[in-house]
Structure 1
Amino acid sequence: MGADNKPSRLVASLAISDNPRTWPVIDGRVTIDGVDVRTTVLHPSEMFWRQLKYAEFDISEMSISSLMIAASKGDRTWVAIPVFTMRSFFQTWGFKRLDRGIVTPVDLVGKRVGVPEYQQTSAIWSRGIFKDRYGLDQRDVEWFMERVPGKSHGGSTGFQPPQGVRIQQIPSTTNIGEMLVKGELDATLLYLTDKNLVDRSRIDITQDAHIGPMFADNLREGQDYLKDTGIFPVNHTLVVRRSLLEQNPWLGLNILKAFESAKALTQSRMIEMAEPWQTSSLDASAGPLLQSDPMPYGIKRNRTVLETLARYLAEQGLTPAPCALEDIFLKQALDL
């Protein structure tokens, strides 16, 4: 009990990214039961680096790939909560020089390809999908990594290039964007320009006539992948400090409930805003689509996507074997 005879509440720090599914938590419309949260909004690149290197926050978003890599090496600092605030078809995040004869990903064989960080989850997905669907082996590409060891996720998880993979360090005097514009790179697996303490690229490469997206039709590529596999890739989850959870075993499910509520609020608002277009449209299919949930939380509805990511990590030589979900996720949430 506190000095005023009211039940004491846990005070915890939270690092979170700025996206529609987290807005209700950030602005206080949704709270975590029993917790007074001290919230910091950060870009994911910086957030993950700070958590992996310094463990500054009690609760945060986390790179799923870096979490699995750390866990495979015996790091038990964090327990994952099955909240997945970010999804995309990451293979469509790439860019290529239009003068290098690159039509499909298999044309990257022998090419010089940039990547902010080799072990980041979006890069894992892209390389895995390129191998499964287009036959591109990671060992057939010369990779150029932008992040330096001291400001990388891998710097805190003991990253070493997998056997047979060639990775060059981009000098700190330049970056992926500059090298792509100058023709020193043929492509990049993804491209990040948001200001943060980790990523250095800033050029808007979409304005360069010599550079274009990896796929001629990114929308079609993503839709085809979803239709063929049923997978909508995830790259972030939530984590809570294990020592804090052990002292407060109720905390994990309370976090999950809060973020479920935040997502529901966002989706409800989206449906409300779309109602005029739905009711005035001759296409009745919009209604069921708006009522669906393409971004479910929990383990049951995400086991396939998570186990696919774990398989990719092992196949790419970043973990010795696929990480078991039971080893990293909250025990009480495994059946949810």
Structure 2
Amino acid sequence: MTLPLTIACGEYDRTRALFEGSVAIEGCAANFIPLAPEEIFYRAFTGGEFDVAELSLSTYLIQTARGECEYIGIPAFVSRSFRHSAFYVRSDRVGSPSDLVQARVGVPEYQVTAAVWARGILEDEYGVKPRDINWVTGGVEDLGRHEKVPIELPPEIRVETAPRPLAQMLADGEIDAILAPRAPSCFTNRVPNVTRLFEDYRAVEADYFRKTGIFPIMHLIGVRKSAVGVNPWLPGSLLKAFEHARRASLPTLSDATALHVSLPWLIAEAEWTRSVMGPEPWPYGVEANRRTIDVLLRYHFDQGLSCRLLTVDDIFAEGTHDHFRI
């Protein structure tokens, strides 16, 4: 008898084989629901709505540290991104990371994983600590955004709620910078004096990887603990399937017969990426990502988001973090 599963996840190149059914999850009859990450996160963290879900790593860590999360993670990291490109600044005020000291910096939510990484990078690489900045939280383009789950921050962290959309505030000079995964409209519309802090961000991010070996993780896959309790084999089957789907996507990045992505220099980009990051730039599993995971766990605790310092044993299902081999 197969186990029915409802799985909410983004339909990426690395998950497409699962959506199409060319890669199956052993022992399961999966119903895949493609949704935007923000909707998945809200529905998963507030109601545990899905059997398996793509989860914000930061929010997952908050709930896990408190013992409140309905999900347990598997190390299939379906979303990753360098975050030097996520700093948008008033160029008439901010020309280097040190200029962010005492600045007002907008962020959609203090807890978003992109912000955790960016704050950690600011401190480790440039000596700017989270307490050195005045944080302004709210929607980048619209009002009404709030933290996915409640957080209690150390008293030295100053956070205020934005009275207007952050993009408007940056355009009008009411804040000095925005830290966000998506480019704000004031940047894409080329509002004067709004630019990226790191204009040649690809070069900066490549140097960061060469120095640290870190490719920041944003999301992981979570499976309901109640399902694992009844089916202890389930995390291993999920990890195996997500890994097979990831591998199935790799040949398309080097197939010049007909480009699979609408980028004219896709092949050159793939070759350049491998020259910087090696033949497996997007690995799953704990061992291949241990340094990245340990650094994020430290950032999360140091920034006051985790109430205790977590370990890999706390955040991944049993049997998925030892000697990952598929």
**TM class, shorter-length:** 0.7 to 0.9
* Residue 68, structure 1, aligned to residue 61, structure 2: yes
Counterpart code for 1:312:
Y
Which residue is 1:36 aligned to? 29
Q: In structure 2, how many angstroms separate the alpha carbons of the residues matched to 1:150 and 1:25? A: 34
Q: 1:243 aligns with which of 218, 226, 243?
A: 226
Structure 2: runs of 5+ lacking an equivalent:
none
Q: Structure 1 stretch 302-311 or stretch 62-71: which is displaced more?
A: 62-71
Structure 1: runs of 5+ lacking an equivalent:
1-7, 194-200
* Residue 59, structure 1, aligned to residue 46, structure 2: no
For the 8 Å contact 1:114–1:185, the answer to whether it is kept is yes
RMSD across aligned C-alpha pairs, in angstroms? 2.7
Q: In structure 1, how many angstroms separate the alpha carbons of the residues matched to 2:108 and 2:121? A: 18
Q: Percent identity?
A: 33
Per the alignment, in what secondary structure is the counterpart of residue 240 of structure 2? Answer: helix
Alpha-carbon distance, 1:91 to partner: 2.6
Counterpart code for 2:254:
I
Q: 1:269 aligns with which of 214, 235, 252?
A: 252
Which residue is 2:309 aligned to? 322
Per-residue Cα deviation, 1:15-43 (whole angstroms, up to 9, x for no partner) = 10132212222232222122122222122
Question: Which of the pair has more CA radius of gyration?
Answer: 1
Counterpart code for 1:14:
I
Relative to structure 1, the CA distance from residue 11 to residue 204 in structure 2 (aligned partners, 3 Å threshold; closer, same or farther) is farther
Alpha-carbon distance, 1:213 to partner: 0.8
* Residue 164, structure 1, aligned to residue 156, structure 2: yes
Q: 1:88 aligns with which of 74, 78, 81?
A: 81
Relative to structure 1, the CA distance from residue 98 to residue 298 in structure 2 (aligned partners, 3 Å threshold; closer, same or farther) is same
For the 8 Å contact 2:88–2:179, the answer to whether it is kept is yes
Alpha-carbon distance, 1:108 to partner: 0.6
Alpha-carbon distance, 1:69 to partner: 1.2
Q: 2:179 aligns with which of 181, 189, 205?
A: 189
TM-score, structure 2 as length reference: 0.88
For the 8 Å contact 2:186–2:194, the answer to whether it is kept is no
Counterpart code for 1:175:
P
For the 8 Å contact 1:178–1:203, the answer to whether it is kept is yes
TM-score, structure 1 as length reference: 0.85
Alpha-carbon distance, 1:163 to partner: 2.1
* Residue 233, structure 1, aligned to residue 216, structure 2: yes
User: What is the aligned length?
Assistant: 313
Q: 1:176 aligns with which of 161, 166, 178?
A: 166
Per-residue Cα deviation, 1:73-103 (whole angstroms, up to 9, x for no partner) = 1124111010011221113211011221x12
Which residue is 2:97 aligned to? 105
Alpha-carbon distance, 1:237 to partner: 0.5
* Residue 213, structure 1, aligned to residue 196, structure 2: yes
Relative to structure 1, the CA distance from residue 270 to residue 229 in structure 2 (aligned partners, 3 Å threshold; closer, same or farther) is same
Relative to structure 1, the CA distance from residue 330 to residue 95 in structure 2 (aligned partners, 3 Å threshold; closer, same or farther) is same
Relative to structure 1, the CA distance from residue 320 to residue 80 in structure 2 (aligned partners, 3 Å threshold; closer, same or farther) is same
Per-residue Cα deviation, 1:256-288 (whole angstroms, up to 9, x for no partner) = 11111111111022222389999x99xxx7797
Relative to structure 1, the CA distance from residue 132 to residue 59 in structure 2 (aligned partners, 3 Å threshold; closer, same or farther) is same
For the 8 Å contact 1:145–1:168, the answer to whether it is kept is yes
Q: In structure 2, how many angstroms separate the alpha carbons of the residues matched to 1:203 and 1:184? A: 13
Q: 1:294 aligns with which of 281, 288, 291?
A: 281
Q: Structure 1 stretch 71-80 or stretch 231-240: which is displaced more?
A: 71-80
Q: In structure 1, how many angstroms separate the alpha carbons of the residues matched to 2:272 and 2:125? A: 30
Alpha-carbon distance, 1:13 to partner: 0.7
Relative to structure 1, the CA distance from residue 92 to residue 192 in structure 2 (aligned partners, 3 Å threshold; closer, same or farther) is closer
Q: In structure 1, how many angstroms separate the alpha carbons of the residues matched to 2:126 and 2:174? A: 24
Q: 1:144 aligns with which of 136, 141, 151?
A: 136
Q: 2:9 aligns with which of 16, 19, 40?
A: 16
For the 8 Å contact 1:89–1:232, the answer to whether it is kept is yes
Which residue is 1:304 aligned to? 291
Which residue is 1:131 aligned to? 123
Relative to structure 1, the CA distance from residue 257 to residue 306 in structure 2 (aligned partners, 3 Å threshold; closer, same or farther) is same
